[in-house]
Amino acid sequence: MSAGSMASLDASAIGDEIGRWVSVESPSADAEAVNRMVDLAEDRLRAMGASIERQVGQQGCGDILTGRIAGQSEGPGILMLGHLDTVHPLGTLQGALPLRRDGDRLYGPGAYDMKGGNVLGFAALAHLHAQGRRPRLPVTVMMIPDEELGSPTSRPAIEAEAARAACALVLEPSGGGGALTVARHGMVRYHLRVEGVSAHAGAEHEKGVSAIREMAHQVLAIEALSDNARDFTVNVGLIRGGIYENRVPDLCEATVYARVPGPAEADELRAALDALKPHHPKARITLTPGLYRPPYEKTPQIQALYELACACADELGIALNGARVAGGGSDGNFTAAAGLPTLDGLGVIGGGPHTHEEYALISSLAPRARLLVALLERIGAS
């Protein structure tokens, strides 16, 4: 993006920049690919005068990028969060989801979730820099490499920054029609291991205890915990078991994924899973907690951030379409659970996340960038 287009927050120029980001494919599990995206984001941050910290990736994930931009005042500032990884594998651009414009829609892997939102945040900061202005408070920009995996390597860094900040703005895509996110469900994973007794499936079938059969009983009990009326859903999404079809399997493993509206449901789930008993007396069950995003609950401080965004939008003539509680998780779950006032869903309007129809609405780009500029200049005014 040129200095001129940044100063005017031109929708076409912002769309072109999103296209540049989308053109650098960055699936979560490919650290080298993600780091190419980190390189691009680092270049953009340096161009607007940010000081840079880059934490080398761990556990096969890409690097964590942090850029710090001075504000008009010192002290705790704004943590601006986004992630650079996508769920789309390398080659998606040349295959199922090429970068293209169709009317008001800009298609491409990550255009909506969430390279588009990242570009909006960068455009807002670059706009202030190009005009010789600064955010009211210092801004720390964190670009995360593994959010789509549950942020296994990034969570400690996010929480450390949250402890030093005054509030967090999360650049995840908006809700329908531009709604901002003021709360999110928690995301809980557990790993279930069932051990049985192996035996020849023909000659000595009666001596075996099938771990797969035992797991089938447990799956029925686990999924019965779902209560859709409460938005409390429990899903067994992965199962692995057995070696040969003529052998009674002595091992089966499954991953349990649950959406919990609040801490009470998280505790309820853990108690129910801890209470599971083997259907067969010779089977054994082991439960291990996995990655966890704590519930992100709305507080009076989050409501105040939302109301400030509404006031800014009214002054700019931008429709926000209200607030929402999102079913999916984000890194905002970590900041909100740490007690940091967090406003999420500040990214693009669009649709098709995690599909081959992912798109951002070009008409949303300039208004959403202007909203971010207003927030950066207003947060901390009182």
Both 59 and 137 in one domain: the answer is yes
Both 61 and 200 in one domain: the answer is no
Predicted confidence at residue 328, as pLDDT, reads: 85
| Total domains in the fold of the chain | 2
How confident is the model over 201-247, as pLDDT tens digits? 999 999 999 999 999 999 999 999 999 999 999 999 999 999 999 99
How confident is the model over 320-375, as pLDDT tens digits? 999 999 988 999 999 999 999 999 999 999 999 999 999 999 999 999 999 999 99
| Residue 97, domain CATH | 3.40.630.10
Q: Running DSSP on this structure, what letter comes out for residue 126? A: H
Identify the CA nearest to 65 among candidates 51, 77, 47: 51
Both 126 and 46 in one domain: the answer is yes
| Residue 232, domain CATH | 3.30.70.360
Instruction: Tell me if residue 292 falls in helix, strand or coil.
Output: strand
Please check the confidence at residue 80 and state whether its pLDDT lies above 90: yes
How confident is the model over 130-141, as pLDDT tens digits? 999 999 999 999
Two tokens, residue 53: 């910290």
- Phi and psi torsions of 129, nearest 5°: -60, -40
Task: Please name the residues in contact with 271: beta carbons below 8 A apart, sequence gap of 6 or more.
Answer: none
Give residue 239's domain range: 186-293
| pTM metric for this prediction | 0.90
Cα–Cα distance between 54 and 361 in angstroms, integer?
31
Both 18 and 94 in one domain: the answer is yes
Instruction: Tell me if residue 156 falls in helix, strand or coil.
Output: helix
Please check the confidence at residue 1 and state whether its pLDDT lies above 80: no
Domain end: 293, 316, 341, which one?
Answer: 293
Identify the CA nearest to 180 among candidates 10, 377, 372, 382: 372
**Cα torsion through 38, 40, 43, 44, rounded to 10:** -110
| Average pLDDT of span 160-176 | 97
Two tokens, residue 239: 């199962």
